[in-house]
A = this chain, B = another copy of it.
Amino acid sequence: MKVIELRMTVTSSNDRDAEELRSELKERGIFLVNLMSAPGSGKTTLLSRTITDLSGRAEIGVMEADIASDVDALRIAELGARSIQVHTDGMCHMDAGMTRAGLIEMEGERGIVFLENVGNLICPAEFDTGAHKNVMILSVPEGDDKPLKYPLMFRKSDALVITKTDAAPYFDFDTEAVKRRALALNPEIRIFPVSAKTGEGMEEWESWLLSEWEEWRNA
For the complex, give the distance between the alpha carbons of A128 and B118 in Å: 22
* Protomer copies: 2
Q: Are B164 and A68 in contact (CB under 8 A)?
A: no
Q: Is A203 an interface residue (CB 8 A)?
A: no
Contact with B along A155-174 (1 / 0, CB 8 A): 00000000010010011000
Q: Is A142 an interface residue (CB 8 A)?
A: yes
Contact with B along A136-150 (1 / 0, CB 8 A): 000101110110111
Q: Are B121 and A120 in contact (CB under 8 A)?
A: yes
Instruction: List 9 additional A-B contacts (Cβ < 8 Å) besides A40-B141, A92-B92.
Output: A38-B39, A38-B40, A40-B142, A67-B151, A67-B152, A68-B150, A69-B149, A141-B141, A167-B170
Interface size on A, residues (CB 8 A): 32
Q: Is A81 an interface residue (CB 8 A)?
A: no
Looking at the assembled complex, report how far the CB atom of A140 sits from the nearest CB atom of chain B, in whole angstroms.
8
Q: Are A121 and B39 in contact (CB under 8 A)?
A: yes
Q: Are B40 and A151 in contact (CB under 8 A)?
A: no
Given A38-B38, A139-B141, A149-B66, A122–B170 Cβ distance below 8 Å? no
For the complex, give the distance between the alpha carbons of A151 and B143 in Å: 25
Which chain B residues lie closer than 8 Å to A141 at the CB level?
40, 139, 141-142, 164, 167
Instruction: Name the CB-closest residue of B to A144.
Output: B40
Which chain B residues lie closer than 8 Å to A123 at the CB level?
92, 120, 122-123
Contact with B along A39-55 (1 / 0, CB 8 A): 11000000000000000
Q: Are A39 and B149 in contact (CB under 8 A)?
A: yes
Q: Are B67 and A122 in contact (CB under 8 A)?
A: yes
Which chain B residues lie closer than 8 Å to A120 at the CB level?
92, 120-123
Contact with B along A73-100 (1 / 0, CB 8 A): 0000000000000000010100000000
For the complex, give the distance between the alpha carbons of A38 and B92 in Å: 13
Given A38-B39, A39-B146, A141-B164, A151–B119 Cβ distance below 8 Å? no
Q: Is A20 an interface residue (CB 8 A)?
A: no
